[in-house]
Amino acid sequence: KLRLILAALSANYAWIAALVLGASVVEAVYYIRLIHLMWFKGEGEKMEENFVLGVIMVLLVAAIIIIGVYPGPVWNIVQKAGSDLFNVANYVKNVPLLGVSP
């Protein structure tokens, strides 16, 4: 945001800089309120510990770490899916027609 503001000011677009600063103030108020509610408000209901939810959380954390360290396989799948969306003929060819015989 700082670079955007500085670029807007150097190009004599002060209104864009003012708009970005105004949006930043609104964001700051929202996030400060959210942080206050999460950390400084009194304790609410205590949640019961659930083994299944704990296992799911551990699996998701492990998946995030593994994908973060070794993103290659996931990246290949995402890249292929994205390229198929922009190539309509290839997308239609790759999507199985359920219940329709060729």
| Percent of the chain clearing pLDDT 70 (strictly above) | 87
Residues 17-33: what's their mean pLDDT? Answer: 94
The mean pLDDT value of the chain amounts to 85
pLDDT in tens, 51-96: 999 999 999 999 999 999 999 888 888 887 777 778 777 767 766 6
pTM of the predicted structure, to 2 decimals: 0.42
- pLDDT for position 78: 84
Distance CA 82, CA 95 (A): 13
* Rounded alpha-carbon distances, angstroms, from residue 89 to 29, 80, 100, 102: 47, 14, 18, 16
* Rounded alpha-carbon distances, angstroms, from residue 50 to 37, 55, 60, 98: 24, 9, 16, 39
Is residue 67 a contact partner of residue 75, using CB atoms and an 8 Å limit?
no
